[in-house]
Structure 1
């Protein structure tokens, strides 16, 4: 195994260029007849069915998620990239984003928030952890229902790297043979 011969300093605010949290998602929320969609890049898996999301309190989705205690985390793919960026550039207080961007709202099975039909997968979530600090609005969600398109098996998801640049994933490499059998669960 080789390693770089030299490294250069990197401003710490560019860490996300290398340690992005995962694919960009669209979070849909609803409460009292109002619905919203937001683009979200700040999320993390906390367990097999627990997902943490950082939703800034200035977003309308924050208020709807807190009030309803539910959301749907929708997984867009490369074909929706321009729409994903445009959704992130506007507020749900201005106009219904489903209508504005021609997205199809699907009824969820377990929560009131709508799923987005154009997304490869949708994860219906209920709020699991309510201790959200004023400085860090971290929501911890439990996935209560999951829906995924049967193909492609490995979708081309988009990952934000900062400065308006994305990486597209979709190439899968297996190292199953290197794992201990008990480590292959999930």
Structure 2
């Protein structure tokens, strides 16, 4: 099979790191929601997550000011709301109200959980060394929440240019990792 050249500007569509998440931050007027797919696990204990947030966004300003956020993991059932959050600015609208999402108080941080998401991770910023250059924050997960009623979450994964993939079948293979 002959392979063909692939455009460098589309490489990100091949290395999609995980599900689209909704990052919430606390704000003076109202909390904000940002759709994000540029994140990665960095460490298991304590759980550390790296994420990229552009320095022109409201979420960047709010996260820099508070050093706290919640990573909310939605499923395909609210995909249109997730995309709506990604296509609008929290500087202009209250995304909780605009997209019919429910803020719930967190236990360890000031940013709210999103009730409609099947999992929520309360986080604090622990490393800002690469923020100025790359917008890359390192977050420590302080508290995790999951809806036990959701047995096989169908998360959405951004493939670029309005294209998404939905997580599907779970397979089990022998592994030494737990």
1:89 aligned residue (87, 90, 96)? 87
TM-score (norm 2): 0.94
Q: Any idea what SS the aligned residue of 1:56 has?
A: coil
RMSD: 1.2
How many residues align? The count is 176
Alignment partners' CA distance in 2, 1:147 and 1:41: 20
The structure whose Rg is larger is: 1
Unaligned runs of 5+ in 2: none
Deviations 1:68-111 (A, max 9, x none): 10000000110111111111111101111111111100000100
User: Is the contact made by 2:68 and 2:125 (CA closer than 8 Å) also made in structure 1?
Assistant: yes
Aligned twin of 1:39: 35
TM-score (norm 1): 0.91
User: Is the contact made by 1:127 and 1:140 (CA closer than 8 Å) also made in structure 2?
Assistant: yes
Q: Any idea what SS the aligned residue of 1:131 has?
A: strand
1:145 partnered with 2:129 = no
Unaligned runs of 5+ in 1: none
Residues 34-183 of structure 1 mapped to structure 2, 5 A cutoff: 34-48=30-44, 49-176=47-174, 179=175, 183=176
Deviations 1:2-26 (A, max 9, x none): xxx1111100111122210110000
User: Is the contact made by 1:31 and 1:67 (CA closer than 8 Å) also made in structure 2?
Assistant: no
